[in-house]
């Protein structure tokens, strides 16, 4: 029989799956963005149920609270009728689109197949109950991955400068709106 | 595993309450009587003009992008802040302060550059 | 949620009570706001409906229930109706995760002819808290950042360009001040070294103790509150909370002279009231966080404990009275901060939008960084 925790997982997984499918199946782009935000929230809830509270909070703060707000704001700012007309119809471009999607799908399925063995047969070491997840994260981050941490800081700096510079470019896609 | 169940229950409780109140209000109010003044977008009460969308500032986009970047940097400071005292007690205080010091310097440089380049000046 | 029927039912009742607390505080707060603002502005507030005008908001709520329900003709129905309901969610979910009383232990007892003894036969542990997430503050910040969605949905769903402008400006303001909010909390996290609220309040019980290179100085008559260790952080957190709740002096999104009524221009009747419930819910969470981080939370001061010696009453009744007294202490602090919110609203003039964004990015963010650096140096010196 299914335990209560299984029901919760199936409910959250169904919500995430349904929201993710709705992102691509809904006509209105703002609804797409809002469904993507609800996918992020469902994934954060799954993280909480896996006792990864900090990652869930970070997912909510950064993904659902920052990145998706950016998406929704930008979608509301720009008039998308120009972009919808820019999709080129035709057989050759249609075939090209199908072929590229097929290649990406093949790559994903191949990598899942090749790593399934590693996932199912690896030994899972249980976390000792006395380990606080956030402290463990901090110890690992500032211990083994210190250089990666500093590089992330530099990367964020580059992103900031790049974003500001890109928005200065004259012309752009919707200069006449 | 069940620690997320109360959150889900409370979420549905709140949504049910809000939706229920709106339903009751729509039920109790007078019948809908649309007239042109009510249907048009509100512009100080007079029946308004349907002007096309004016140019909206690109600063909204910049604000959101810079918010994402600085938010990620702040999130990285949280595990550091929690284990700060532990590291000091272990005697590695200078190491941990140096590690975060480099990060904070990059943060400050980013902020300083962004302020200096007038990226977020609203006029 | 709990193993047996007693625990599950108590947890459900607690969640419902906390949610209703958020809703019921609105009539009281609006009354305090209207009378308080009248007092500040040297006029009478509502004083006719009921004694001292207390029934005013009940009359208003009944009036709102009977208003006509309309949708602007070009409005998007789903977003338009979902936005006020979504405005309630962040405040309620955040309030339910705050511990409003310490955890008390209930010994096994007999009721309805059955022994209720909990999972391992040792009784129950309850706190006046909807649910307990052990990463406390990160969860609250995450849920509060979802508040931007109800603004954006309201602005877009109204299909009114003024609403849309108001919603975009409101959400840009909200995300700018979330940075200052998050960063000002780093200072308090460094001092307490934990993310959970209960542990933070437990560390504020003793008398004020400063360390200096291993020596300790104790000031006996002041409690060990967060504000004495991190005053800049408290000012930053309080100011950022004002901006997060869209309260004056940061309430340009709702300003009447500027954008009609901002993102809730096209809302009338009870939908508008749901937005206000959401805003007051945010204020309640912000006041509670201020009390928990910087002002000692539910710790009962020593003089109050000697006045009402509830810890000498044995058994379950004593435990419940202790939790109740702690809760009343926290509630007093929260009510004081809510009054400060209202007081500031009617005292200061409103900021212009570019002044507001400049303040958030160019003043508060650097000061928050300075706060982090100073606190780090202070802790370093204190430990020696």
- The Cα-based distances of B1 to C97, C139, C249 in angstroms read 17, 17, 43
Least confident piece of the model among A90-104, B1-15, C201-215, C302-316? C302-316
pLDDT at residue A173 in the model: 44
User: ∠ CA A109-A115-A116 to the nearest 5 degrees?
Assistant: 85
Nearest to C176 by CA among B118, A161, B70, B76: B70
pLDDT at residue A39 in the model: 94
> What is the Cα–Cα distance from C60 to C366, expressed in whole angstroms?
44
pLDDT at residue A53 above 60? yes
Mean pLDDT of B70-75: 92
Per DSSP (E only), the strands in chain C are 104-106, 109-111, 114-116, 124-126, 207-212, 215-223
pLDDT at residue C67 in the model: 79
pLDDT at residue A105 in the model: 93
Nearest to C379 by CA among B108, A140, B93: B93
Nearest to C95 by CA among C285, C333, C341: C285
Q: Do A8 and B8 touch (CB under 8 A)?
A: yes
B69 interfacial to chain A (CB closer than 8 Å): yes
B50 interfacial to chain C (CB closer than 8 Å): no
User: Any idea where the domains of chain B sit in the sequence?
Assistant: 2-116
Q: Is A112 a member of any domain?
A: no
pLDDT at residue A124 in the model: 67
Nearest to C380 by CA among B98, A145, A143: B98
Q: Partners of C207 in the beta sheet?
A: C223
Nearest to C137 by CA among A63, A131, A53, A140: A53
Q: Of residues C301 and A111, which shows the higher confidence score?
A: A111
For residue B22, give the nearest of C81, C159, C362 by CB distance. C81
Write out the two tokens for A162.
């790049």
Name residues whose C-beta falls within 8 Å of residue C180's C-beta, 6 or more positions apart in sequence.
C236, C239, C240, C243, C360, C364, C365, C368
Radius of gyration of chain A (CA): 21
CA C6, chain centre distance (Å): 29
Q: Give the DSSP letter string of chain B.
A: -GGGHHHHHHHHHHHHHHHHHHHHHHHHSPPP---HHHHSPPSTTS----PPPPP--THHHHHHHHHHHHHHHHHHHHHHHHHHHHHHHHT-HHHHHHHHHHHHHHHHHHHHHHHHTTTT---
* CB C163 within 8 Å of CB C155: yes
Check whether residue A3 and residue A69 sit in a common domain.
yes
Q: Do A159 and B69 touch (CB under 8 A)?
A: yes
pLDDT tens, position by position, C287-318: 999 999 998 888 887 777 777 777 777 777 88
Instruction: Tell the residue number behind the tokens 């901090």, with chain if given.
Output: A138
DSSP C45: -
Nearest to B84 by CA among C380, C232, C198, A146: C380
Q: Give the DSSP letter string of C102-146.
A: --EEEPPEEETTEEE--TTSS-EEE-S-S---TTHHHHHHHHHTT
C346 interfacial to chain B (CB closer than 8 Å): no
Check whether residue A65 and residue A136 sit in a common domain.
no
* CB C56 within 8 Å of CB C49: yes
Q: Do B68 and A58 touch (CB under 8 A)?
A: no
* CB C92 within 8 Å of CB C140: no
What is the span of the domain harbouring residue A55? 1-81
Q: Do B75 and A62 touch (CB under 8 A)?
A: yes
pLDDT at residue A38 above 90? yes
**Polymer length of chain B:** 123
Closest residue of C to B59, CA-based? C172
* CB C357 within 8 Å of CB B67: no
Least confident piece of the model among A120-134, B77-91, C30-44? A120-134
> What is the Cα–Cα distance from C335 to C287, expressed in whole angstroms?
8
Instruction: Tell the residue number behind the tokens 């938010």, with chain if given.
Output: B71
pLDDT tens, position by position, A15-33: 999 999 999 898 888 899 9
Q: Model confidence at B62, in pLDDT bands (50, 70, 90)?
A: confident
Q: Do A60 and C142 touch (CB under 8 A)?
A: yes
Mean pLDDT of chain A: 83
pLDDT at residue A3 above 80? no
> What is the Cα–Cα distance from C240 to C177, expressed in whole angstroms?
6
* CB C28 within 8 Å of CB C34: no
The domain boundary residue, chosen from A81, A101, A122:
A81
Total-model pTM: 0.88
> What is the Cα–Cα distance from C183 to B86, expressed in whole angstroms?
20
Mean pLDDT of C310-334: 83
- The Cα-based distances of C232 to A105, C169, C177, C235, C293 in angstroms read 53, 27, 16, 5, 13
Residues of B in contact with A8 (CB under 8 A): 1-2, 4-5, 8
Mean pLDDT of C189-216: 83
Q: Do C379 and B77 touch (CB under 8 A)?
A: no
* CB C369 within 8 Å of CB C323: no
Distance from CA of A27 to the nearest CA of B (A): 22
pLDDT at residue B37 above 70? no
pLDDT tens, position by position, B83-117: 888 888 888 788 888 888 899 999 899 888 888 88
Radius of gyration of chain C (CA): 23
Q: Directed axis angle between helix C270-294 and helix C5-40, to 10°? A: 100
Q: Is A68 a member of any domain?
A: yes
Check whether residue A135 and residue A77 sit in a common domain.
no
Burial state string for A137-146 with b = 16 or more CB within 10 A and e = fewer than 16: bbbebbeeeb
pLDDT at residue A52 in the model: 83
List chains adjacent to chain A, taking adjacency as at least 3 C-beta pairs closer than 8 Å. B, C
Instruction: Tell the residue number behind the tokens 């030994």, with chain if given.
Output: A123
The domain boundary residue, chosen from A81, A105, A139:
A81
pLDDT tens, position by position, C160-179: 777 787 788 888 888 889 99
Q: Do C19 and B13 touch (CB under 8 A)?
A: yes
Mean pLDDT of A105-125: 82
Q: Is A110 a member of any domain?
A: no
Mean pLDDT of A74-91: 70
- Please state which CATH number belongs to domain B2-116: 1.20.58.1610
* Percent of chain A clearing pLDDT 70 (strictly above): 84
For residue C190, give the nearest of B7, B63, B81 by CB distance. B81
Residues of C in contact with B66 (CB under 8 A): 361
pLDDT at residue C119 in the model: 64
> What is the Cα–Cα distance from B16 to A84, expressed in whole angstroms?
37
pLDDT tens, position by position, C248-262: 777 776 665 555 566
Q: How many domains in chain A?
A: 2
A33, A49, A60, A70: best to mutate for the C interface, most C CBs within 10 A: A60
- The Cα-based distances of A94 to A85, A90, A100, A103, A169 in angstroms read 15, 6, 10, 14, 32
Q: Of residues A61 and C164, which shows the higher confidence score?
A: A61
Name residues whose C-beta falls within 8 Å of residue C127's C-beta, 6 or more positions apart in sequence.
C99, C100, C101, C102, C103, C104, C198, C323
Q: Directed axis angle between helix B5-28 and helix C5-40, to 10°? A: 60
* CB C82 within 8 Å of CB C153: yes
Longest Cα–Cα distance in chain B: 75
pLDDT at residue B82 above 50? yes
Long-range contacts of C35-41 (CB under 8 A, 24+ apart): C36/C339, C36/C342, C36/C343, C36/C346, C37/C342, C37/C345, C37/C346, C40/C343, C40/C346, C40/C347, C41/C346
pLDDT at residue A177 in the model: 42
């Amino acid at each position: 029989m299914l335990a209560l925790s299984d029901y919760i997982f199936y409910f959250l997984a169904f919500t995430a799956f349904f929201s993710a499918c709705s992102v691509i199946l809904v006509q209105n782009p703002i609804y797409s963005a809002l469904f993507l935000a609800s996918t992020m929230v469902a994934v954060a809830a799954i993280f909480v149920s896996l006792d990864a509270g900090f990652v869930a909070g970070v997912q909510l703060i950064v993904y659902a609270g920052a990145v998706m707000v950016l998406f929704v704001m930008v979608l509301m700012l720009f008039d998308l009728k120009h972009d919808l007309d820019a999709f080129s119809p035709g057989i050759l471009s249609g075939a090209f689109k199908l072929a590229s999607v097929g290649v990406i799908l093949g790559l994903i399925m191949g990598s899942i197949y090749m790593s399934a063995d590693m996932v199912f047969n690896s030994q899972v070491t249980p976390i000792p109950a006395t380990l606080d997840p956030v402290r463990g994260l901090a110890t690992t981050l500032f211990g083994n991955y210190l250089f990666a941490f500093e590089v992330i800081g530099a990367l964020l700096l580059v992103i900031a400068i790049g974003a500001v510079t890109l928005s200065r470019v004259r012309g752009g896609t919707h200069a006449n709106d | 595993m069940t620690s997320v169940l109360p959150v889900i229950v409370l979420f549905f409780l709140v949504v049910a309450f809000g939706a229920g109140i709106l339903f009751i209000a729509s039920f109790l109010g007078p019948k809908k009587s649309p007239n042109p003044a009510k249907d048009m977008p509100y512009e100080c009460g007079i029946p308004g003009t349907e002007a096309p969308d004016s140019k909206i500032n690109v600063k909204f986009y910049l604000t959101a992008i810079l918010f994402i970047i600085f938010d990620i940097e702040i999130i990285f400071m949280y595990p550091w802040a929690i284990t700060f005292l532990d590291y000091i007690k272990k005697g590695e205080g200078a190491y941990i302060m140096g590690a975060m010091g480099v990060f904070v310097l990059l943060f400050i440089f980013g902020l300083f550059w962004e302020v200096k380049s007038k990226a977020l000046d609203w006029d | 949620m709990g193993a047996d029927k007693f625990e599950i039912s108590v947890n459900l009742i607690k969640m419902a009570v906390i949610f209703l607390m958020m809703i019921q505080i609105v009539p009281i707060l609006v009354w305090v706001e209207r009378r308080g603002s009248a007092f500040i502005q040297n006029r009478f507030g509502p004083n006719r409906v009921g004694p001292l005008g207390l029934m005013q908001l009940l009359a208003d709520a009944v009036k709102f229930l009977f208003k006509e329900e309309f949708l602007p003709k070009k409005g998007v129905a789903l977003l338009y109706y979902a936005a006020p309901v979504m405005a309630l969610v962040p405040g309620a979910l955040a309030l339910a995760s705050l511990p409003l009383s310490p955890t008390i232990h209930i010994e096994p007892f007999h009721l309805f002819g059955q022994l209720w003894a909990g999972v391992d036969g040792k009784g129950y542990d309850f706190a006046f808290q909807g649910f307990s997430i052990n990463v406390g503050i990160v969860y609250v910040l995450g849920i509060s950042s979802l508040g931007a969605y109800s603004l954006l949905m309201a602005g877009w769903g109204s299909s009114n360009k003024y609403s849309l402008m108001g919603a975009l400006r409101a959400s840009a303001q909200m995300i700018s001040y979330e940075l200052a909010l998050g960063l000002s909390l780093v200072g308090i996290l460094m001092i307490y070294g934990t993310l959970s609220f209960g542990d933070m309040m437990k560390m504020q019980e003793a008398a004020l103790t400063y360390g200096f290179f291993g020596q300790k100085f104790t000031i006996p008559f002041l409690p060990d509150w967060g504000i004495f260790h991190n005053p800049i952080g408290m000012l930053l957190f309080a100011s950022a909370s004002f901006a997060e709740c869209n309260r004056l002096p940061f309430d340009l999104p709702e300003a009447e002279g500027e954008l009609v009524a901002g993102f809730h221009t096209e809302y009338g009747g009870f939908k508008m009231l749901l937005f206000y419930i959401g805003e007051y819910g945010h204020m309640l969470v912000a006041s509670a966080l201020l009390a928990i981080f910087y002002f000692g939370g539910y710790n009962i001061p020593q003089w109050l404990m000697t006045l009402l010696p509830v810890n000498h009453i044995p058994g379950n009744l004593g435990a419940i009275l202790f939790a109740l007294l702690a809760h009343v202490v926290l509630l007093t602090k929260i009510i004081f901060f809510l009054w400060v919110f209202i007081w500031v609203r009617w005292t200061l003039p409103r900021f212009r939008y570019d002044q507001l964004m400049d303040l958030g990015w160019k003043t508060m963010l650097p000061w928050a960084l300075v706060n982090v650096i100073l606190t780090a140096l202070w802790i370093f010196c204190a430990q020696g």
